[in-house]
Structure 1
Amino acid sequence: MSDCSSLYSDCSSKELEDELETLGWYHYDLSRHATEALLLSNGSDGSYLLRKSHEGPNFLAISVRAKDSVKHFHVTRKGDGYSFGFNEFPTLRDFIEHFANQPLLGSETGTLIMLKCPYPRRVEEPSIYESVRVHTAMQTGRTENDLVANAPSLGTKEGYLLKQGAIIKNWKTRWFTLNRNELKYFKDKMFEEPIRILDLTSCSAVQFDYSQEKVNCFCLVFPERTFYLCAKTGVEADEWIKILRWKLSQIRKGR
């Protein structure tokens, strides 16, 4: 990784159309999903980068790795200036100096996130390639039609949550996985068979819940039952609520 103090990449002598392109940690059209994979795989706590936001041409996004997750924050372009949170920056240089001298960020849940080091757009890769000795003579019986590209769907999440029982109102720790439109919960992480699969296409609402004695609780409303869940922290509960609400919005768009 390049030196963190080097905020600019090498620029050509001609003036670039967009001054953002002179910024070594601006990653153009890198998607949110690819950003998370990049920072979680190669970055460290406090690594961050700037990229375009899918919200529109006047929006950028600061993505920062905070321990084992990646947080995203909007930057708004207003004319020649930039707006970030409560701060207004008349020029890109002012914006960059802010991140050089005040690399702190507070989220809406009150957590302080440290921006320590910009993640460079250009990273040297080792030139190491394995040599191919011989193709195996073993036949698999597969054809080119079987070579279908596949990847986990966007918006996956997993983790431990406390769940309230349906009849006996006690709380038990369960392992939850969110994939596509299914929220599954298991007795523990090592179990393969889920206790139950919740079909989010039948869910009408996801919201914080303050009716329980515990904190950091939220609920999922289904026609036959409301499920009450609690996370360890308010940040974690907020993350679950946001991604579940996003799922519901996508389901409604598809109807």
Structure 2
Amino acid sequence: MSYCSDTSSVDDELETLRWYHFDLSRHAAEALLLSNGRDGSYLLRNSHQGPGSFALSVRAKDSVKHFHVTRKSGGYAFGFNEFATLQDFVNHFANEPLLGSETGTLIVLKCPYPWRVEEPSIYESVRVHTVMQAGRTENDLVVNAPSLGTKEGYLVKLGAFIKNWKQRWFTLNRNELKYFKDKMFDEPIRTLDLTACSAVQFDYSQDRVNCFCLVFPERTFYLCAKSGVEADEWIKIIRWKLSQIKKGR
């Protein structure tokens, strides 16, 4: 595909790019990649900086990084690189997949995240996305998992009656947040139904850092993550799920 300076031709090329998510917001991109993507999943979206400005959002383990892509008269600029077409952009990262972030770490671009993938389930009526297997180009993608976004990890929870903090293993699957005594246990201590949850947010009332709370009619649950980034990721994913629950009502 050759680059044409005609704006309509450029727009046509964007429309054929299956991992271009149009005006998806930064927050929505983070929720989408963290909830349903995998390490190395990436997508292109419009940037708030104006026409001709895009953002490449990439999941790097348990966080999402954003990089600017700018349309120029001769093609597209990404960092110190310039590409004649977006197809060249795809081909470049299929063969040179390492990208340095501002922290000096390397991010591997493994799998474009298409926007036309639908959840193969009648569980929810809204359009959602599924985890994709890594492929060298966008044409190599194969649907890998039908489940709506999941997350798991250790959090420290405040007890209901005895006000002490204990580490628990949490799993988030569909609208159920379960916590276990430890990772190797099969039976959860409790299952929280997110359809009954009214809010999730950072909490500063406890004498601990990186805390957030989930508000239910009968109780507010206080949880602490190992870092502010991790707490923010839990909040974003749960908040995204609550928004989907609200849409379905």
Post-superposition shift, 1:92? 6.9
| Residue matched to 1:28 | 18
Cα separation, partners in 2 of 1:50 and 1:69, compared to 1, 3 Å: same
| Residue matched to 2:77 | 96
Question: How far apart in 2 are the matches of 1:100 and 1:117?
Answer: 17
Aligned match for 1:123, one of 136, 146, 149: 136
Aligned match for 1:203, one of 189, 197, 207: 197
Deviations 1:61-108 (A, max 9, x none): 513242x23515486xxxxxx7xxxxxx56276862535499545xxx
Q: Is 1:18 paired with 2:28?
A: no
Cα separation, partners in 2 of 1:162 and 1:184, compared to 1, 3 Å: same
Q: Is 1:51 paired with 2:41?
A: no
Deviations 1:103-134 (A, max 9, x none): 545xxxxxx4756566697838xxxxxxxxxx
| Residue matched to 2:181 | 187
| Residue matched to 1:168 | 162
1:249 corresponds to which letter in structure 2? S
Q: Is 1:63 paired with 2:57?
A: yes
1:123 corresponds to which letter in structure 2? R
Q: Which has the higher contact order (CA 8 A, sep 6+)?
A: 2
Post-superposition shift, 1:233? 0.4
Q: Counterpart of 1:214 in 2: which secondary structure?
A: coil
Question: How far apart in 1 are the matches of 2:219 and 2:105?
Answer: 41
Cα separation, partners in 2 of 1:234 and 1:95, compared to 1, 3 Å: farther
1:209/1:219 contact within 8 Å kept: yes
Q: TM-score, normalised by structure 2?
A: 0.60
Question: How far apart in 2 are the matches of 1:118 and 1:20?
Answer: 24
In structure 2, list runs of 5 or more residues that go unmatched. 22-28, 83-98, 113-134, 138-142
Deviations 1:114-166 (A, max 9, x none): 56566697838xxxxxxxxxxxxxxxxxxxxxxxx994422211110000100
2:79 corresponds to which letter in structure 1? H
Q: Which has the larger radius of gyration?
A: 1
Cα separation, partners in 2 of 1:211 and 1:94, compared to 1, 3 Å: farther
1:214 corresponds to which letter in structure 2? R
Question: RMSD between aligned alpha carbons?
Answer: 4.3
Aligned match for 2:210, one of 216, 219, 222: 216
Cα separation, partners in 2 of 1:155 and 1:117, compared to 1, 3 Å: closer
Cα separation, partners in 2 of 1:20 and 1:65, compared to 1, 3 Å: farther
Q: TM-score, normalised by structure 1?
A: 0.59
Question: How far apart in 2 are the matches of 1:170 and 1:35?
Answer: 30
Aligned length: 191
| Residue matched to 1:245 | 239
Question: How far apart in 2 are the matches of 1:120 and 1:247?
Answer: 23
% identical aligned pairs: 56
Question: How far apart in 1 are the matches of 2:216 and 2:37?
Answer: 36
1:30/1:51 contact within 8 Å kept: yes
Aligned match for 1:154, one of 143, 148, 151: 148
Cα separation, partners in 2 of 1:71 and 1:93, compared to 1, 3 Å: farther
Question: How far apart in 2 are the matches of 1:114 and 1:93?
Answer: 30
Cα separation, partners in 2 of 1:36 and 1:246, compared to 1, 3 Å: closer
Cα separation, partners in 2 of 1:231 and 1:20, compared to 1, 3 Å: farther
